[in-house]
A and B are shown apart, each in its own frame.
Chain A
Amino acid sequence: DAMVIQNPRYQVTQFGKPVTLSCSQTLNHNVMYWYQQKSSQAPKLLFHYYDKDFNNEADTPDNFQSRRPNTSFCFLDIRSPGLGDAAMYLCATKIWQGETQYFGPGTRLLVL
């Protein structure tokens, strides 16, 4: 089945220790998104890619970076995680002119 896959599902890191979250998709969608979702809040958009064209939201902290080496994969790098970065991180995809986004299961990040 075509899908959006995120690894790992749960990630524990230490304060200040870099961490990388990964997303892959078999939908062949050219748009990919990274969201941060904290408890009882709507997902907050961090970045999105139209193919390799990277778009950073204005309020995304510099501590967050992203890479998309090819259509199928996208990575979220958190350079120096703080306690406030503990959240669910969601990857989503859509086709170029489509309206609906398809989400992965998320990676829950815990910062100790």
Chain B
Amino acid sequence: QKEVEQDPGPLSVPEGAIVSLNCTYSNSAFQYFMWYRQYSRKGPELLMYTYSSGNKEDGRFTAQVDKSSKYISLFIRDSQPSDSATYLCAMSSYGQNFVFGPGTRLSVLP
């Protein structure tokens, strides 16, 4: 079993849809959870960062962490064509063992 799993997509949605992106993981030591957005041929850009379980909201983006299920989610409300990118989850435990998921490719169609 891979340490972090993520549906690679591609995921295509119409503009304005609510998008749900998810990762599962196996290492219960992970405490910090991040979502990165990566546009084609660019470096990953940090979107959201959460510690332990709970929700965090930033504009149209909401990150959720459920440590009991080892499951994290990123929701995008009112999706826009400019949200089309690959979304990578990442997680770490107290500065150690930083692991990326393989990424989900999202296309938001106008």
Q: B-contacting residues of A (Cβ < 8 Å)?
A: 4, 6, 40-43, 45, 88, 90, 94, 96-106, 108
Contact = CB atoms under 8 A, between A and B. Distances in A.
B62 interface: no
Nearest to B92: A99
Contacts of B88: 42-43
B32 A41 contact: no
Interface of B: 8, 32, 34, 36, 41-46, 49, 51, 88, 90, 92, 94-95, 98, 100-103, 105
Contacts of B44: 43, 90, 103
Contact of A106 (B43, B46, B49, B100): B43
A40 B41 contact: no
